Amino acid sequence: MMAWSTPPYLLADVSVRRVMLQVLVALLPGIAAYVWLIGPSILVQLAIATLAALLGEAVMLRLRRRPLLLFLTDGSATVSAWLIALAFPPLSPWWLTVVGVLFAIVVAKHLYGGLGQNPFNPAMIAFAACIVSFPALMSQWPALGLKLSLAEQFEIIAGLAPRIDAMSGATPLDALKTALKLGEGAVDVPTLLANQDVFGNFAGRGWEWVSVGYLLGGLWLWQRQIITWQTPVAFVGGLTLLAAILWAWNPQQFASPLFHLFSGGSLLGAFFIVTDPVSGSTTFRGKLIFGFLAGAIAYVIRVFGGYPDGVAFAVLLMNLCVPLIDMYTQPPIFGMKNPK
């Protein structure tokens, strides 16, 4: 007798591990741009995050008496770890990354029941928890033009070297917001973008190309049918629509949609965060609603709120709404489209 005694006896060659591996591969273009333009410290952060995630996962699996090898190799913890490392400042102290990752794996994932059970996106939970708890550290981004060797960067992350002021810059989004706030209407966006070093061709210097990397990886995931188009398109749509309206109304005080699209976590969020199937909506219309509102809320928070970016909070708020959205957007089934 064979172990497999229930139909279908044929299975497609797919697995959770393969899905997660492809997500990791899709992150590579963005990571490459990151290393090239921002600095190799991200590699150290990725390594720390991965180790912490696997360790946290192993301990939790042990406590929950789940098969270790099966779940450790499914790749889901690594995906969360990489997303957290990419969302955090690249020169964060090592323990900040570890705290974020462990919070995601232990609290956001396993306390809710592990793989497939988490109502909130673990990476975004980590970001939200840390930016609320350690706002200063989470806002220290390397100042532009800071040339540090990998060894020096490693020392900063490890806490062996002092966190010098020169490296505490801000993200382009944060820089723009702060400048506009300080200027109190006297400064305008086009002048700022043209004169400040932190801004590049169409968004933040360097960061804009990292975003392009995420975009390429995301398109590949879509082409591989790992993600569907609805959520990313709706997310980008929600973000750019609000940005376009305000920009058209007052281009002196509001940055262009293009700037917003390639700044902060917009494209990482669009292709790798809101597309998380576990915490996102699953129906056709639900994905559109979920993505659109997440994009719109992200814009509102990043422009009018107190945080440098709004993707994390927007996604978490929309995660809350998923059961409701899914319930009301169930598609009509075969033969029920035109009930007579």
Q: Contact positions toward other proteins, by CB under 8 A?
A: 1-12, 14-16, 18-19, 67, 70, 74, 76, 114-117, 228, 277-278, 280, 282-283, 326, 330-337
CB of 212 to other proteins, least distance (A): 27
Q: Which tokens is 283 given?
A: 């129906």
CB nearer to other proteins: give 116 or 251: 116
CB of 61 to other proteins, least distance (A): 12
Residue 209, CA distances (Å) to 32, 36, 53, 295 in order: 10, 10, 27, 20
CB nearer to other proteins: give 17 or 159: 17
CB nearer to other proteins: give 67 or 185: 67
CB of 305 to other proteins, least distance (A): 30
According to DSSP, the residues that pair with 85 across neighbouring strands are none
CB nearer to other proteins: give 113 or 159: 113
Q: Which tokens is 43 given?
A: 């590699």
At residue 210's C-alpha, the angle toward residues 218 and 310, to 5°, is 80
Residue 167, CA distances (Å) to 41, 92, 141, 289 in order: 13, 11, 7, 39
For residues 161 and 152, what is the distance between their CA atoms, to the nearest angstrom? 8
CB nearer to other proteins: give 84 or 278: 278
CB nearer to other proteins: give 270 or 301: 270
The identity of residue 336, as a single letter, is: M
Chain centroid to CA 43: how far?
A: 17
For residues 130 and 48, what is the distance between their CA atoms, to the nearest angstrom? 16
CB of 66 to other proteins, least distance (A): 10
The identity of residue 85, as a single letter, is: A
CB nearer to other proteins: give 22 or 256: 22
For residues 168 and 162, what is the distance between their CA atoms, to the nearest angstrom? 12
CB of 219 to other proteins, least distance (A): 19
The identity of residue 150, as a single letter, is: L
CB of 83 to other proteins, least distance (A): 15
CB of 337 to other proteins, least distance (A): 7
CB nearer to other proteins: give 147 or 337: 337
Q: Which tokens is 182 given?
A: 């300080």
| Per-residue exposure over 277-303, b if at least 16 CB sit within 10 Å of its own CB, e if not | ebbbbebebbbbbbbbbbbbbbbebbb
